[in-house]
Amino acid sequence: MNDLSDAGFKQRQDDTMNGAKDNGRRDFLKTSLAVGLATASGAFALDLAASSAEAAGKRQLPKKWHETYDVVVIGSGFAGLAAAAEAAGKGASVIILEKMPVYGGNSIINGGEYNAWTDELHLREKHNLGDDSAETHTKDTLKGGDYYGSPELVEILTAGAPKALDWMIDEGGLKLRDVLNRTGGHSKYRTHTCVEGVGRGYTEALRKIAEHRGAKIRLKSTVSWIWRKDVDGPVLGVEVASGRGPVNIRAKKALILASGGFSRDVAMRQVYNPSLDKGYNCTNHKGATGEMIRYAQAVGAEAIQMAFIQLYPYADPETGILDAPAVYPFRGPGYGIVYVDEKGKRFVNELERRDVVSRAELNTGGKKTFSIFNEQMIGKMGTREEVEKGLARGRFVRAGSLAELAGRIGLDPAVLTETIRKHNGYLADKKDPEFGKNFTPQMISLEQGPYYAIAQWPAVHHTMGGLRVDKETRVLDIWGKAIPHLYAAGEVTGGLHGANRLGGNAIPDATVFGRIAGLNAAAEKA
């Protein structure tokens, strides 16, 4: 496995992004004339991925459309469902095409965390967790992405997050746990958790709204091309692979791409970030392969910040899975959880953002690290039922004392006991001389057991880069011009999160911009 070191990481990102952009422009200039000649007759489709007029000419525009809808949505996760719901709510006929045999994509297995600075339940005020605002959420998000994120897009995200959350509660029946977390990279307690503890709570709420408004979901529908005639014209529809041959579906008003990222495509992610080879596990479902980004590029779209690929530092070290137990280390920093390495020592400020924690883990030189918490913290991070199930599966380890816990997870009992003793003292003194953690009154001292541990290690998780969009979610071409009738939302897009996505920002990102895409698509003229 290649080392993801601090020294070369940023430079490789910058070099790869610049190189990919330059190569993309050169390829476009090389092929645009040939493609223009091939499409002059009106028989051929735009294909900027083709290397010659002959190759471009092999892809002909459909002679007939097998089906027609006002709005066609690709992907059935948070963004796709939100877009379909809003488009259908405006009277548009809407079909959601999902390539997998079940709906939801990565969204349904997401950790169930949603950042919003306020909500109609007033959880922050109810639990006396201090103040917050859209402006503070914006500042945290921009800082968390090293200021590579678009301030305009981030402001739309933070302003719209509470509204989208309340919408899912009111119309979708979403239920939230009676708790707010302060998670890595955030300065406030603003991370909401659905009662299910996984993304399914939100996808079910969105699916309910979308289907109630008339949107249809079609599974096992793999899109194999996007139809567009030329670089000035609108997107016309998509080609869908089937056992009977290609099926062409026309999008009268708009096509919305909500197909997610490319974390599962090792070759694609290594084009932009060579360090992320097959030695890394991945939290994503198997369908997160990024082909819709490539198809969009073939009809003129620009992709940006593709080298920014996030590791989730708390995945199962063996499988890379992001299950219910794997979210506890993410939820715990605001309530006093402690991370230790294989020597039993702390190695990072637990309130740091995901990329910092991941690099700190890799720099330990080990193969896993651990989160340590006690009985008092469980209600702040999850439920007793979740913990018991995790214990039965071996994901959590429980013991009556720290020394016993250390023995069960292969650490030196004396070292772990001393590490936690020191952390308890730091918490009491409100000062962390080792890592500078900012303690809050909500944090719990690890003075009493029973104690728990869970093993963790980085796995490829989220691709922050993707298609370039404007504030209306219109997909832009390489000249910054909106491609007519083409929209995108969610992880398929780039430019919002910057170099690092703060945990809990994915669901509001997808939902807020999915809603915008759906409303704008429905308003297009056929």
Residues labelled as active-site residues: 354
Amino acid (1-letter code) at residue 337 = I
Rounded Cα distance between 103 and 98, Å, is 7
Q: What whole-number distance in Å separates Cα of residue 315 and Cα of residue 122?
A: 31
Backbone φ, ψ for residue 391 (5° rounding): -65, -40
Give the separation between CA 493 and CA 83, rounded to whole angstroms.
Answer: 14
- Residue 55's CB is within 10 A of a number of other CB atoms, namely 15
Nearest CA-CA partner of 96 in 123, 130, 132, 70: 70
Integer CA distances (angstroms), 470 to 25, 91, 435, 489, 513, in order: 20, 24, 39, 10, 10
Closest CA to 112 of 181, 34, 65, 29: 181
Contact between residue 240 and residue 246 where contact means Cβ atoms under 8 Å apart: yes
Strand 67-74 and strand 94-97: the pairing is parallel
191 contacts 183 by C-beta, under 8 angstroms:
yes
CA-CA-CA-CA torsion sign (274, 279, 283, 289)? positive
* Residue 289 burial (10 A CB sphere; 0-12, 13-18, 19+): buried
For β-strands 247-257 and 309-315, DSSP reports them as unpaired
Three-class DSSP category at 238:
strand
Q: 3-state DSSP call for residue 372? A: strand
* Amino acid at site 201: G
Alpha-carbon distance of 47 to 183, in angstroms, equals: 44
Query: Are 501 and 462 within 8 A, CB to CB?
Result: yes
Q: Radius of gyration of the chain from Cα atoms? A: 24
> Which secondary structure element, helix H or strand E, spans residue 154, and what is its range?
helix 151-172
CA distance 492 to 266: 16
Distance separating alpha carbons of residues 330 and 314, to the nearest angstrom: 7
Exposed/middle/buried for 42, CB within 10 Å: 0-12, 13-18, 19+? exposed
Closest CA to 248 of 445, 68, 454: 68
What is the Cα–Cα distance from 303 to 61, expressed in whole angstroms? 24
